[in-house]
Amino acid sequence: MDATTLRELQTPLKARYRDDPAAAVVTLAADGELDGSGVACRVRTATALAEAGLDPATGGDGTQLCSGDMLLEALVACAGVTLRAVATSLGIQASGTVHAEGDLDFRGTLGVDKEAPVGFREIRLSFDLDTTASEDEVATLIRLTERYCVVLQTLKSSPATSVSVRA
């Protein structure tokens, strides 16, 4: 896809969202199935059924997906797509890789130490780019990628989250 095609696709959307801000609010959803045996949750993705289970650091055997890994994978996917969209829009040729890693202290999630945090202490996102863009163009590319990456901004801003149950 080139910048012209991307603009042609996004221009009517941007105009609609400017004219009707409520049209820009979309609710995304995910569902999991708790059926079956073992400590697992099956999550339906767009193309497959993924089974998440315990990380080996919490007693899993490593044959199921770890939800922490899935969070980092979502960050990598979003950052990669966002970078490619921004690069396309700016007319910058860029390829390469995206990497995310995060530090967890499993004492928190296992209840070993009530002072240990549950969740990631720190997440690091990095890009290894192959591009002929100037240093200033790359800086702009990364700044805009950070600004428009939904998953990154969600992690940074920690939105209000609620939990409910029907039994």
For the chain, the domains span 3-157
Crossing angle of the two packed helices 3-19 and 67-90, in degrees rounded to 10: 100
pTM score of the predicted model? 0.91
100 C-beta neighbours (distance < 10 Å), count: 20
The per-residue pLDDT for 37 is 72
pLDDT tens digits for the chain (167 residues)? 999 999 999 999 999 999 999 999 999 999 999 987 789 999 999 899 999 999 999 999 999 999 999 999 999 999 999 999 999 999 999 999 999 999 999 999 999 999 999 999 999 999 999 999 999 999 999 999 999 999 999 999 999 999 999 99
Angle at 161 between CA 149 and CA 75, to 5 degrees: 25
On whether the CB atoms of residues 12 and 23 are closer than 8 A, the answer is: no
- Of 157, 159, 13, 158, nearest to 85 by C-alpha is 13
> Which tokens sit at 104?
């967890």
The per-residue pLDDT for 35 is 81
- Of 161, 160, 157, 155, nearest to 124 by C-alpha is 155
Tell me if the domain spanning 3-157 has CATH number 3.30.300.20: yes
